Structure 1
Amino acid sequence: MANAYAALVKPPTELDALSRSMLTAFAELVQASGLGPVADLGCGPGRVTAHLAGLGVSPIGIDVSPKMIELARTAFPDLPFSVGSITALEFADDALGGILAFYPTHHTPPELLPLVFAEFYRTLAPGGHLLLVGHVGSGEHRRPTQAYGGLPVSFESYRLPPGQLAELLNRAGFTIDAQLVQEPDEKLTWKIASFLAHKPISQEAGLTS
């Protein structure tokens, strides 16, 4: 369904104003840190990866779908893209200046989120920034059978409460700097939450422990 997804999903320039602002703030924080590249995890067809590049950061797109990566490489041949899983990132410890997780984790079973967030923490440099965005709710578990124009699909979606996600990020070691919850409206079909967080430097961790 990669082609249908790419045809139907809005480009970053057509997102709501708050979502665009969070992406811009994240890019500015990463640039100010000067720590390294940004991993766009669950990059899909690469449009958000390219948007990040346009905001002045050095992105690397990662997606579990080989077809998505094929589309991304075709559309943006000057940017790096690789097939990979958010449960086992192929980056060294402290290698990244930023991580963007733009709607991949609500498809992850909740019991695997501690592993995923531990991978985010491991690969992010001290002082590096994370932007996590995804659908939230009150614990709903959805199993759609059709999507993206009526195509048959087989995937799951978990709409966890924002507070639960915040707690998991804190347990992984992150410091949350900002949290935005957006209610459904004429542009948003589902309730979404965005978290701007960072990996503390050792001195900061010592001061707050």
Structure 2
Amino acid sequence: ENAAKKYRDYLDPVLKQTEHAYCIEEHIAPMLSDTKNPQGIFCVCRMPKRRADGLPVSAESDTRPCRHVLVMENIQDPSNMGNVLRTAEALGVRHLALVGTCCDVYAPKVLRGSMGAVFRLGIRRFETAEDCLKVLHAENITSLAAVPDSAATPITTIPFETGSWAVWIGNEGNGLTNEAIEHCHDRVTIPMRGRAESFNASTAAAIVLWEMERNGAGGTSHG
């Protein structure tokens, strides 16, 4: 009841779309939540539809061709996944591919971290890097493997404003698999000046996403 009053302006359009709505007692809320201090609003949502083949279509029914794609391989930390999804949506990259043993994008921590982005992005899972690369190559998308190697091509020099690109981000501890690195068109790296050997996976993804979209090319493609 308190949440219904506090978030009335937010809830009004939601209640108009829902099939059923219930007002629960305050002591029931903690039983439904995995957090100690729930906000008091709970929704059961239908998972977005996915295409059977090709790259994923966003939940907003955007059927236009992909401009850029972020590929995440074996990302297992739900917090990292949520941060990446939120950043991707904020910067205009609507298409993501999850390869290997990535964590569940509908896990509670991912949902909270993504701030709802998981429902608005086009996301498709692939069991192997080979499966994903076949689809990307069929769509004429150039794949780049992000690696912590100063000998790799600086990502700041990639002409993201032309063509379509997919940048691969690897596991938090082990990076990308050899299979992914070997079959991508090129290796790229984020220039580093300090003594750290690498970036956190979600931080690396954020930098990559910014580089992909900072000239507005991807945003123009997706509207």
The alignment's TM-score, normalised by the length of structure 1, stands at 0.36
Normalised TM-score (structure 2): 0.34
Q: Which has the higher contact order (CA 8 A, sep 6+)?
A: 2
